[in-house]
Structure 1
Amino acid sequence: NGQSTNSNEKKLAFQNIPRLPREVTPFASFTNVIELDQRGPLFQGPGAKRDTGRYKVRPTDDDSMKRAKKFSMEQSVKYVLVRQQQHQQRAQLDLIKKQQALLLMCR
């Protein structure tokens, strides 16, 4: 007798579970994708095959490349030095602030 009431409670609890609509369930019927006509030119994307051969560089371009590399190296070194100087100034300022705070606390 106790088991029959228990099974009835399970059936009622199972019936009270909300169900998803049919179009949300994974077993809903598949709808066909609409194919659209292409308009405009078709461009190759980043995944397209490319020519793997190296390009010939003219002597004038070679000189320009060397100057560009030299310039970029100079700019990189300059940037690193500026950042290093900023870091040192910040560290020095922090040290001065700590010393001032210590002096004020000792008074």
Structure 2
Amino acid sequence: MSSLLSLIIGTVVGLTQFRIKRLLAYSTISHVGFILLALSITSIESIQAFVFYLMQYSISNLNAFIILVTIGFSIYFYVTDNKEHKELLDKNNSPIQLISQLRGYFYVNPV
């Protein structure tokens, strides 16, 4: 009974989500329903299906989170890099002063 309830709640509420983290959370609730369904049937095939499904879901969910984190970091670094360069260019109009300022930043925080 709990497996069917988890399947229904995870699917119906997950369809209404717009944020990707919440969508993945409700997807996990739905997939737990599938795992509970496999565990509720006590046979060799259901245990094999449970182990296969658990491994497959873990690998695919890990890949999804790695892709989301990579996209988030690339967007974050793209936005912050542009802001820092614009701030440097707005503070001074001389390229020589910009190079001097960058050299000072290097001494403060060496790469």
Same fold (TM over 0.5): no
Larger Rg over CA atoms:
1
Normalising by structure 2, what TM-score?
Answer: 0.42
Choose between structure 1 and 2 for higher RCO, CA contacts under 8 A separated by at least 6 residues. 2
Greater fraction helix = 2
